[in-house]
Amino acid sequence: MSEAGTEGDLIVRREGSAGVIRLNRPKAINAMTLEMSLGIDAALDQFEADPAVAVIILEGAGDRGLCAGGDIRGLYESSKSGGDLGKRFWRQEYVMNARIASFPKPYVAYMDGLVMGGGVGLSAHGRHRIVTEKTKLAMPEVGLGFFPDVGGTWLLSHAPGELGTYFGLTGQTMNGPDAIHARFADTVVPSEKWPALREVLTKLRPGTLSSEVERLIEGFAIGENAGPVAALQDRIDRWFGHDSMHDIVAALEQDGSELALSILKALREKSPRGMVVTLKLLRLARNASSLQDCLVREYRAALEVFRSDDFREGVRAAIIDKDRNPRWSPPEIDAVTPEMLAPYLAEIGADELTFPQGR
């Protein structure tokens, strides 16, 4: 084993023929900072260029999860002070998300425990996405006055039927099998089998094809690929198959079932502006030609979110003061006007997200 990094917030090293990237902030459930994202990019440079590296393994330290998302507290402080961390952090992160999606070597993400927000961006764009019996995957950004970013609009818009609309607007958690059904993951491997599978991955010969890695992983899998939410597909399609939040809410109210009312309650806790922005981005993503198209659009919207009171208020209520009582602006869905939505979709000139050539 050769060490290529220090035991800081990110551990990067070779183990046999595997290039290992381990997020190492277990007390923060490995929430990702700008420095960690830059470190991951540097690790990918190193492992891509090293002919002895056959496979990338992404994992999280501790037993609570792969990654609980981005460093929201740092973004909140920068937004409050008029800083530019949002612009720098999201540009770096989104470019990295696109890189992971097209990485030329097999990229194995071990999605154990909590996988949220930025953690989804690090894993769900990878070629081999392993979930376990402990996986809890979510894109809960609307509860922070934000929207599912890191390519989340691309992923959600490719889920079957309206499941992506449902998960994106409610922030509902997926278990491992539901993550597979929603196309965020590929295989359930029991966590007790991971050490043995990991050991095999470190012994792959350089040049091993992704198809071979896939067959290898399947040998450790349990074959489950649909969880409790999959059984609700027809009802979710009926409720969320609308292009306005007003019509989605009306469909849930008209249904009146216990489940519909519980979903309504969840929606009423979210940012009205965040939900309207999310729904619009999800509908645009359905016609996008690539993940990169969605990331460009997400970056425009993210910079507008960074300037918004709703983002600061959502983070304050959830993470800073923890009173769980955000005061959204505006407080009602029907008060979100087209004029309020427009800045989230507008082109941003010299600040547009671009991707390095040749990757």
Write out the catalytic residue numbers.
Answer: 70, 118, 141, 149
Residue 316 tokens, joined: 């304050």
Sort residue 117 into left (φ over 0), alpha (ψ -120 to 50) or beta: left
- Give the ranges where 102-206 is alpha helix by DSSP (H): 118-123, 152-157, 163-170, 176-181, 194-201
- Alpha-carbon distance 191 to 168, whole Å? 27
* DSSP H or E stretch at residue 66: strand 65-67
Element (H, E) at 226: none
The secondary structure of 159-189 as a DSSP string is: SSTTHHHHHHHH-PPB-HHHHHHTTS--EE-
- Computed on alpha carbons and rounded to an integer, the radius of gyration of the chain in Å comes to 20
The order of strands in the sheet holding 114-116 is 65-67, 114-116, 136-138
Determine contact, residues 273/340, Cβ cutoff 8 Å: yes
